[in-house]
A and B are shown apart, each in its own frame.
Chain A
Amino acid sequence: MTILTFTLIMLLGAFAAGMIGSLSGLGGGIIIIPLLTIGLGVDIHYAIGAALVSVIATSSGSAAAYVREGITNMRLGIFLEIATTFGAVCGALISTIAPGSFIAVLFGLTLIFSSINSLRKKEEHVLKQSSPLARKLKLEGSYPDSKGQPIAYGTKNVLGGFGMMGIAGMMSGLLGIGSGAFKVIAMDNIMRIPFKVSTTTSNFMMGVTAIASTVIYLQKGYVQPGICMPTMIGVLFGSMAGSRILIRSNPRKLRIFFAFIILLLALNMIYSGLAGKI
């Protein structure tokens, strides 16, 4: 395959990945890896590097808007980044010694988990009373409702959430994904932070979590400019297009459709990994 053909296929593929990512609420990185490994025969290590580049691009791009609107809880994000960056460094180091087939199977399992999780019913719950540790760390906050009125919320189970964030960071370092699903579970289910704040803060954290593992990837040669360039451009524009479509469509039906596609991708990854093809 010539470089020109590869770049054009990647541009289109990454655009689709970005669009599906934002429509399914999963992030583009998760679709980039199967596309590169199964679709184009690229080694999984290069695919991880490209996915992480696309994660940083899309998360910074969308985090910008949420931060300006004041939905993101920056203190909470920075505090939990201790856990995610530490986890990411461990994950990236494991990934440099783990065989490709192990990574493929683990990735497939994460995909299944994430796609089921994307179908979960999202309810906004607001916790009135914070735990003493949460108060000490100033993790309480408020976010604007649809009319711009601030809704105050508290949080609890700081240590539990912190531990889960470490796991999220490790998956992110191992697989080159944003692991938004794990981060949201830590904040939404464990710390009882309102869903809207959880998703936007998770997005905000991805960039810093990703650079912790990316420095390791860079030095090990995971980041291939020829693969990352079309990926970064395609995913960013794809996710922008996806968020436009989302406003005009029924997200519930779209999510079920894409969760099904991602499930198939996951099974394919697991099969390829077990069969030693990756």
Chain B
Amino acid sequence: MNKDSFTDKTLQRIVGNLLRYGVWTALAIGAIGGIVYLVRHGHESIHYGIFTETDKSIGALTGDIIDGVKKGSGTSIIFFGILLLFLTPALRLVLSFFSFLIEKDYLYVIITLIVMAIIGISISLGYGH
């Protein structure tokens, strides 16, 4: 195994960049959505005092958001930005999974898989109860 080609230092740089650019991209998209939303609905009044629980699977939710973005809906663009923000740490996890695989650190390959599995389980738990 050639230790020079891929070390923890390389991973540190890649993960650092991923986190930074991920956050800024999400923020930029969220801000664009915010402007569209304010221009269209800024004068309307809102009530956030009562919480209405929804029960939508993450797949259906993503579908709705993509449809909304195509139609140029401000809230959907904001939501898209928020989804990107959530994807940043998730991608970080996937990235470390592959880097442990390259380093042949199988103990940590399994540990990363367990974390991913728990997040996967939470997707199914949050829906339909």
Q: Per-residue 0/1 for B29-40: is the Cβ within 8 Å of any A Cβ (1 yes, 0 no)?
A: 011011001100
B17 touches A3 (CB 8 A): no
A56 touches B85 (CB 8 A): yes
Q: Given the complex of chains A and B, what is the CA–CA distance between A230 and B81 in angstroms?
A: 12
The answer to whether residues A211 and B51 also contact, given A137-B107, A232-B30 and a CB cut-off of 8 A, is: no
A92 touches B122 (CB 8 A): yes
Chain B minimum-CB-distance residue to A230: B34
A229 touches B78 (CB 8 A): yes
B37 touches A223 (CB 8 A): no
The answer to whether residues A60 and B88 also contact, given A1-B46, A3-B38, A82-B111 and a CB cut-off of 8 A, is: yes
Nearest CB of A to B99, in Å? 9
Q: Given the complex of chains A and B, what is the CA–CA distance between A85 and B129 in angstroms?
A: 20
Chain B minimum-CB-distance residue to A224: B48
B15 touches A74 (CB 8 A): yes
B residues near A101, Cβ cutoff 8 Å: none
A57 touches B23 (CB 8 A): yes
Chain A minimum-CB-distance residue to B30: A229
- Is A41 in the interface zone, CB < 8 Å from B? yes
Question: Which residue of B9, B58, B78, B112 contacts A78 across the interface (Cβ within 8 Å)?
Answer: B112
- Is B67 in the interface zone, CB < 8 Å from A? no
- Is A68 in the interface zone, CB < 8 Å from B? yes
Chain A, 15-58, CB within 8 A of any chain B CB? 40-46, 53, 56-57
Q: Given the complex of chains A and B, what is the CA–CA distance between A222 and B115 in angstroms?
A: 23
The answer to whether residues A232 and B27 also contact, given A218-B126, A225-B79 and a CB cut-off of 8 A, is: yes
B49 touches A42 (CB 8 A): yes
Nearest CB of A to B63, in Å? 13
A residues near B104, Cβ cutoff 8 Å: none
- Is A236 in the interface zone, CB < 8 Å from B? yes
Q: Given the complex of chains A and B, what is the CA–CA distance between A137 and B123 in angstroms?
A: 28
Q: Given the complex of chains A and B, what is the CA–CA distance between A224 and B82 in angstroms?
A: 10
Nearest CB of A to B33, in Å? 7
- Is B2 in the interface zone, CB < 8 Å from A? no
A229 touches B51 (CB 8 A): no
The answer to whether residues A207 and B43 also contact, given A70-B12, A212-B118 and a CB cut-off of 8 A, is: no
- Is A79 in the interface zone, CB < 8 Å from B? yes
Q: Per-residue 0/1 for A79-109: is the Cβ within 8 Å of any B Cβ (1 yes, 0 no)?
A: 1011001101100110010000000000000
A57 touches B115 (CB 8 A): no
Nearest CB of A to B94, in Å? 11
A208 touches B89 (CB 8 A): yes
- Is B98 in the interface zone, CB < 8 Å from A? no
B16 touches A46 (CB 8 A): no
- Is A266 in the interface zone, CB < 8 Å from B? no
A233 touches B27 (CB 8 A): yes
Q: Given the complex of chains A and B, what is the CA–CA distance between A41 and B45 in angstroms?
A: 14
- Is A2 in the interface zone, CB < 8 Å from B? yes
B61 touches A57 (CB 8 A): no
- Is B4 in the interface zone, CB < 8 Å from A? no
Residues of A within 8 A of B (CB): 1-4, 6-7, 40-46, 53, 56-57, 60-61, 63-65, 67-68, 70, 72, 74-75, 78-79, 81-82, 85-86, 88-89, 92-93, 96, 137-138, 207-208, 210-230, 232-233, 236
Residues of B within 8 A of A (CB): 8-9, 11-13, 15-17, 19-20, 22-23, 26-27, 30-31, 33-34, 37-38, 41-46, 48-58, 61, 74-76, 78-79, 81-82, 85-86, 88-90, 92-93, 96, 105, 107-108, 111-112, 114-115, 118-119, 121-123, 125-127, 129
Offer 5 A-B interface pairs, CB within 8 angstroms, sorted by A.
A65-B20, A68-B12, A78-B96, A208-B93, A229-B78
